[in-house]
Amino acid sequence: MEVSDKKAIKGGEFIIRATTPQEIFTPEDFSEEQTMISQMSMEFIKKEVHPNLDALDNMEPGLMQSILDKAGELGLLGLSVPENLGGMGMNFNTSLLATEYLGKGHSFSVAFGAHTGIGTLPLLYYGSDALKAKYIPKLATGEWKASYCLTEPSAGSDANSGKTKATLTPDGKHYVLNGQKMWITNAGFADILTVFAKIDDDDNLSAFMVEAHSEGVTLNPEEHKMGIKGSSTRQVFFNNVKVPVENMLSERGHGFKIALNILNIGRIKLAAGVLGGAKEATAISVKYANEREQFGRSISKYGAIRYKLAEQVIRCYTVESATYRVGQNIDDTISQALKDGADKSQAILKGIEQFAAECAILKVAGSEALDYVVDEGVQIFGGMGYSAESPIERGYRDSRINRIFEGTNEINRMLTVEMILKKAMKGELDLMGPAMKVAGELMSIPESVDLPEGPLSHEHGYLANFKKTLLMIAGAAVQKLMTTLSKEQEILMNIADIAIWTYLAESTLLRVEKKIAKEGEAACQIELAIAKTYFFDVADKINKAGKDALCSFVEGDELRMMLMGLKRFTKTENVNVKENRQLIASKLIDANEYVF
- For the annotated catalytic residues, the residue numbers are 406
Count the neighbouring beta carbons within 10 Å of the beta carbon of residue 550: 22
Q: How many CA atoms lie within 13 A of 228 on its CB side?
A: 28
**Residues in the chain, how many?**
596
Distance between CA 16 and CA 147 in Å, rounded?
Answer: 40
Concatenated DSSP letters of 151-195: -BTTBSSSGGG---EEEE-TTSSEEEEEEEEEEEETTTT-SEEEE
Q: Which of 279, 353, 374 is nearest to 318 (CA)?
A: 279
207's CB contacts (< 8 A; 6+ apart) are 122, 126, 194, 195, 196, 248, 249, 250, 254, 255, 258, 259
264 and 352 Cβ atoms separated by less than 8 Å: yes
CA 26 to centroid of chain Cα atoms = 16
Partners of residue 217 on adjacent β-strands: 238
Q: Distance between terminal CA atoms of the chain?
A: 20
Q: Return the exposure string of 70-90: e unless at least 16 CB atoms fall within 10 Å of the residue's CB, then b.
A: ebbebbbbbbbbbeebbbbeb
- 577 phi and psi, to 5 degrees? -70, -25
Count the neighbouring beta carbons within 10 Å of the beta carbon of residue 471: 23
Partners of residue 241 on adjacent β-strands: 177
589's CB contacts (< 8 A; 6+ apart) are 286, 289, 290, 300, 306, 309
- 554 phi and psi, to 5 degrees? -120, 150
Count the neighbouring beta carbons within 10 Å of the beta carbon of residue 153: 12
Distance between CA 534 and CA 317 in Å, rounded?
Answer: 10
374 and 400 Cβ atoms separated by less than 8 Å: no
Please give the angle made by the CA atoms of 191, 197 and 410, to the nearest 5 degrees: 95
What radius of gyration do the chain's Cα atoms show?
Answer: 24
